[in-house]
Structure 1
Amino acid sequence: MQQPEISVIISTYNSEEWLEKVMWSYEAQTYKDFEMVIADDGSKQPTFDLIERMKSEVSYPIVHVWHEDNGFQKSQILNKAIVACNADYILMSDGDCMAREDYVEVHINEREEGYFLSGGYFMLPMSISKLITKEDILSQRCFNVKWLKSHGLKSSFKNNKLTAKGVTSQFLNTVTPTNASWNGHNASGWKKDIVAINGFDERMQYGGQDRELGERLFNYGLKSKQIRYSAVCLHLDHPRGYKTQDSIDKNLAIRATTKKENKKWTDFGIKKD
């Protein structure tokens, strides 16, 4: 296989229903020269079965990176997935985020040396998340605000994320007050930059490990570019059983140290001492 232009890392854990929808959304991409690297934090057999079946049903190559289930160890499995990426450029998203057809293309077109790209997501309620079918994804109607409203989506300024195009999306990217941080559901950067800061800090469990990676990229000298109104993904709803105050507090302390000491490197990343 020749080297793809971009590796798309998708993180997952025992959520085949959502992962399948996400995988179909990548089959609909306008830009085709990518591989999918699934960062699997210890899923059971049904996820393996799904991935095996999808390998024969989609046109893009799939690399499945898995380790034993040892609680919430997303940072560890993401580091293994980074190493497994065959492309020089890496896009990271989650197994609950369906990508609009131009998603990978936007990341490819906007990439730039010395930068990483920061996108957002559009949150769907559980009722709509459940009813979306493979046909809704391949036809792209599930990204259409009228279609979503006909299935119960409320009116909101946030709906602009789905309707903004061209100049409007560029304008909204510029004026949005949201920081262009590294977001685990929608961010991309050069593999060499991510490896140069030693990837994710594996001490960090749920809450902010993506932001901390971005903070070290800034300390390393990178800038970030806001693309939240151009690179659109739909976030499928789910409960968050792994979210604990302890892990959030611990992670905030690690991030405070990263900031205070201007850290570029973590000793708890891809390379271990």
Structure 2
Amino acid sequence: MSDFLISVIVSTYNRPDALRVVLSGLLRQSDRRYEIIVADDGSGAPTRAVVEEFAAKSPMPLHHVWHPDDGFRLSAIRNKGILRAEGSYLIFLDGDCVPQTDFVARHRMLAQAGMMITGSRILLGEQLTTRVVQGLPILDQGPGFWLVQRAKGQANKILPLFFRLPDISQRQVPGFKWRGIKGCNLAAWRTDIEMVNGFDETFTGWGHEDADFVARLYNAGIQRKKGFWSTEVLHLWHREAKRDQESPNRQKVLRRVESRETRAESGLDECRRQMS
């Protein structure tokens, strides 16, 4: 069963320069048993042009799902990506997170029945990000380059670039823990995602739709493993949106953890009906 098809769902919004780098990384994967779904939250023509360029040269299937720009609707476009995907295992990746060449292979190695994976990231600084989107081949750089970037504060960590840990027991997370949930690098089995009705589209504005997704999977009996020292992506710099810790979205997640709810209020089923 190790040859199951993986669908990498890349969410993006009006950042074609970053998306170009991410898709370049995906086309260099050592594991070739996967497809790419670009889940586009209403971007304009430049993003479409990048997707069409890469679709024309990708040896793997590459599809583009899009809906009109009507504010931040990440959950909705991810659900559309899920419905377009054909894989039995889904990896969610943000369009500004560059995967290393063994990214798909490492996720496959960690995949396990009854488990989801929350991956991790290496944060790149503004100056290094500018060089990357201007053409610096970031995946081809060696230890000397990365030591300099770490010293300059242009990378928050570098050791996971050169060392990999196996599927050790320390990866498993007991209970529901908010820490370490990264929607930019997250994986789960399609059957489990269907069971919880995908992402909840009632989460409006930016923030916590990823934690809600993980919480409902946990409530449904799906345990969590961390992808540290294995699945790190290079997260290109951008200004962080402020995430209010007392926001309605956060409070909704806390209520769901307490109530043990599993299904999204408006998720895959509702998305499927709207698209039919």
TM-score (norm: length of structure 2): 0.86
Evaluate the alpha carbon distance shift between residue 42 and residue 28 of structure 1 in structure 2; reply closer, same or farther with a 3 A threshold. Answer: same
2:161 aligned residue: 162
2:266 aligned residue: 268
Residue by residue over 1:147-175, the C-alpha shift from the partner in whole angstroms, topping out at 9 and shown as x without a partner, is: 133356439883222232246x9598579
| 1:75 is the counterpart of 2:75 | yes
* Contact in 2 for aligned 1:117/1:182 (Cα 8 Å): no
Query: How many angstroms apart in 1 are the aligned matches of 2:72 and 2:156?
Result: 34
Query: How many angstroms apart in 2 are the aligned matches of 1:74 and 1:156?
Result: 27
Q: Aligned runs of 1:185-264 on 2, under 5 Å? A: 185-204=184-203, 205-240=205-240, 243=242, 245=244, 249-264=247-262
Query: How many angstroms apart in 1 are the aligned matches of 2:185 and 2:91?
Result: 7
* Contact in 2 for aligned 1:9/1:91 (Cα 8 Å): yes
Query: How many angstroms apart in 1 are the aligned matches of 2:26 and 2:113?
Result: 25
Query: How many angstroms apart in 2 are the aligned matches of 1:65 and 1:223?
Result: 29
Q: CA deviation at 1:180?
A: 7.4
Residue by residue over 1:33-74, the C-alpha shift from the partner in whole angstroms, topping out at 9 and shown as x without a partner, is: 111011100000111111111112332211101000001110
Q: CA deviation at 1:245?
A: 3.9
**Aligned AA (1:20):** R
Q: Report how many aligned residue pairs link the two structures.
A: 263
TM-score (norm: length of structure 1): 0.87
**Aligned AA (1:99):** P
Evaluate the alpha carbon distance shift between residue 172 and residue 32 of structure 1 in structure 2; reply closer, same or farther with a 3 A threshold. Answer: same
Q: CA RMSD in A?
A: 2.7
2:182 aligned residue: 183
Q: What residue ranges of structure 2 are gaps of 5+ in the alignment?
A: none
Query: How many angstroms apart in 1 are the aligned matches of 2:135 and 2:170?
Result: 30
* Contact in 2 for aligned 1:5/1:34 (Cα 8 Å): yes
* Contact in 2 for aligned 1:170/1:229 (Cα 8 Å): no
* Contact in 1 for aligned 2:35/2:62 (Cα 8 Å): yes
